[in-house]
């Protein structure tokens, strides 16, 4: 997971483990240890259920809007299994906007 506008190449370290899927708290820190984000996620409704053991990642729906990360309605499951850490996971709107 990365913060808005920060290229993946600028993030120090890599996380190769798994999250617990049950209310685990995530804290993202800046280089000076100031908190960028501090929130918990869950695997119960209304959180997206296909990211609970089916191989999909949680993806922010509108990341550039600076959403509240603790709100499950700001998340969706990734388009592909295992997420898309090096490419866009954007979903194009193809319906009638009215």
Q: CA 47: distance to chain centroid?
A: 12
In a domain, 62, yes or no: yes
The domain tally of the chain equals: 1
State whether residue 58 is helix, strand or coil: strand
In a domain, 41, yes or no: yes
pTM for this predicted structure = 0.66
Long-range CB pairs of 37-40, under 8 A, 24+ apart, other chains included: 37/3, 37/69, 39/68, 39/69, 39/70, 40/70
Q: Report angle CA 54, 24, 85 to the nearest 5 degrees.
A: 50
In a domain, 95, yes or no: no
Which structural domain, as residue segments, surrounds residue 71? Answer: 8-81
In a domain, 23, yes or no: yes
Per-residue pLDDT of 1-17, as tens digits, reads 444 444 444 555 666 66
Per-residue pLDDT of 15-31, as tens digits, reads 666 666 667 888 888 88
Contact, 46 vs 72, CB < 8 A? yes
In a domain, 97, yes or no: no
Q: Which residue has the tokens 């990365």?
A: 2
As given in the structure block, the two tokens for residue 72 are 């499950």
What is the number of other CB atoms lying within 10 angstroms of the CB of residue 43? 17
In a domain, 92, yes or no: no
In a domain, 90, yes or no: no
In a domain, 2, yes or no: no
């Amino acid at each position: 997971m990365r913060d808005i506008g920060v290229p993946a190449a600028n993030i120090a370290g890599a996380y190769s483990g798994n999250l617990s899927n049950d209310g685990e708290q995530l804290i993202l820190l800046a280089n000076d240890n100031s908190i960028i984000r501090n929130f918990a996620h869950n695997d119960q409704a209304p959180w997206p259920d296909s990211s609970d053991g089916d191989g999909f990642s949680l993806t922010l729906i509108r990341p550039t809007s600076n959403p509240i990360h603790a709100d499950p309605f700001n998340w969706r499951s990734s388009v592909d299994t295992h997420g898309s850490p090096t490419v866009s996971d954007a979903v194009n709107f193809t319906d009638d906007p009215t």
